[in-house]
Structure 1
């Protein structure tokens, strides 16, 4: 029997929310992301995905297509994609046009990851949709996913309008099409991805629960498609890796405070620096929540973290793990860089 220590390290990828620290501007945070993407590219990471969140003081990832264009232009080989585009916030045609153009500019390097949740508060969602009424975009999610796939294809779609049939394409002459991945934190998207023959990713880094059940449902009900004859998935994890476990636990505290504020309805602020975070005292209830979160994360030195990631990959039967590097920064760190997040990637790759 293979011992946990003998599990092979899977292929590694990166998820980035473009965090904004208390000492950064939005421009600083974007420049830090570009530097992190170059490190991932140089180290041989498989893909680099950017999330979509709105109206949050500590997150600059508001527009995945724009960030994807910047990251793809700053790198040479790594796949770049969305983790994900929150489809209820957008018109399917706009999403299809954006990713068809990205695929044309960076062929075979673009991934379109799509989520069903709005990923924002009700006010921001209203503003994104310009208060549009009519059909419920969450209820129409399966149709929207289908529409995007057709619109990005070289053939495009034919739509009846004002008594005539009109061609509709996301781009004039597509030579290749970005693969669509469905993302989720429940079994809904697992079922939909399986029924459509699409790749699927469960947000293990966010919930940490229900992963095995969602992946089993996806695999057991998968209907092969021409592009993906076999089910395809990977795992996402929060990770903070440093020279020692003690250092990693110091560096992860700013992210812990961010997540604690989210799950308890606390006040959201720009991400604290490590020294600022260490001054925040947690009560017993908050500490229990924080400890529960950290137990699901990968925190430690390179050897410990590598073993943990290999064990998770074996446990869930995946050959790729997407790391969300959650290390914070110390006072005096250059504003346009995140050295500890870069170190997490370097130590894992070693």
Structure 2
């Protein structure tokens, strides 16, 4: 089975790093992914989380585009309720001009944060209303392409006004709809858009969502048939013991999140080993380990291929969640780099 690999990055921040260190580590990781032949590199949008620095995907996309030569770069995703549609269209039109033919615009409907942060994001100006998500999705698609006509009320009466995102690049970003519910599957099928269900986040409902999407898909000008891929949390190391040690900091962080405990920057591997979760936290970790791929190289690749076959996809986007050891450089992520290297050695052809 031919399998393409891609990367989803949340720019994780560990306890002995500054956010700037974390950004530097992610930029190095993106360059390594480009060298190894990965298909695309996406940044997520999250806010006000001490363990996550990926608040502004367009900024990171531009930085990675400037440091790479062939890999596709994009958002996984831009959370549309936080932004005005025209702003999103203009940002990604600019990115397409900077990296022609390499830009993906993944859009999500969730806010990517808590209600307080969502209110603060909206306080700075008009944003996209959640209940107008479908309309604004169409606006972005039009504005980033041939443009749109809006009717405005002037002193001389109603007037048509032509709007198009600039700079107008030769091509347009490839638009993807992201989601973790049936709503997004129905909408992507209706609009004829490529679609990604957040399997790495929830691990539940993936088969149902993909079945809805494939069954209801309506061809569009840009897409003739359903197109999707699988997202996975992955840690690969030279031994299974090392893989599990590297996975522990993120597993414990997710357990704290899902059991309502205070969030903090990611522990190092050594600190995570010293930490003890309560019973509810251990249950969360055990459940996540069943869905994540945490293993030595050959077993990990076998598992990735099995999941790709099960869900009927020929591309897997991995979120490399390996933690770091205390002595490792703060501006690199050796565990995440090693995850990508071990996968690429067994799956992807070398980059040209």
Instruction: Report the CA distance shift for 1:172/1:81 in structure 2 as closer, same or farther (over 3 A).
Output: closer
User: 1:136 & 1:77 partners in 2: Cα distance?
Assistant: 32
Q: How is 1:171-250 mapped onto 2 (pairs within 5 angstroms)?
A: 171-250=166-245
User: 1:51 & 1:174 partners in 2: Cα distance?
Assistant: 24
2:80–2:133: 8 Å Cα contact kept in structure 1? Answer: yes
User: 2:168 & 2:234 partners in 1: Cα distance?
Assistant: 41
Matched with 1:73 is 66
Matched with 1:5 is none
Secondary structure of 1:286's match?
helix
Q: How many residues align?
A: 341
Match of 2:246 among 251, 254, 257: 251
User: 1:28 & 1:92 partners in 2: Cα distance?
Assistant: 31
> For each residue in 1:300-350, what CA deviation from the matched residue of structure 2 results, as whole angstroms up to 9, or x when unmatched?
011010000000000000000000000000011111000000000000111
| Structure 2 spans left out of the alignment, 5+ residues | 346-352
Instruction: Report the CA distance shift for 1:173/1:282 in structure 2 as closer, same or farther (over 3 A).
Output: closer
Secondary structure of 1:310's match?
helix
Matched with 2:133 is 141
Matched with 2:322 is 327
What is the deviation of 1:179?
Answer: 1.1
| Structure 1 spans left out of the alignment, 5+ residues | 1-7
Matched with 2:165 is 170
What is the deviation of 1:270?
Answer: 0.5
What is the deviation of 1:173?
Answer: 3.2
1:9–1:306: 8 Å Cα contact kept in structure 2? Answer: no
> For each residue in 1:20-52, what CA deviation from the matched residue of structure 2 results, as whole angstroms up to 9, or x when unmatched?
111111111111001100110000000000000
What is the deviation of 1:136?
Answer: 7.3
> For each residue in 1:212-260, what CA deviation from the matched residue of structure 2 results, as whole angstroms up to 9, or x when unmatched?
0100100000000121101100000000000111110000000001101
> For each residue in 1:133-179, what CA deviation from the matched residue of structure 2 results, as whole angstroms up to 9, or x when unmatched?
8x9711110001000000001x2111111221111111153311101
Matched with 1:160 is 151
CA RMSD of aligned residues (A): 1.2
User: 1:237 & 1:85 partners in 2: Cα distance?
Assistant: 19
User: 1:288 & 1:9 partners in 2: Cα distance?
Assistant: 35
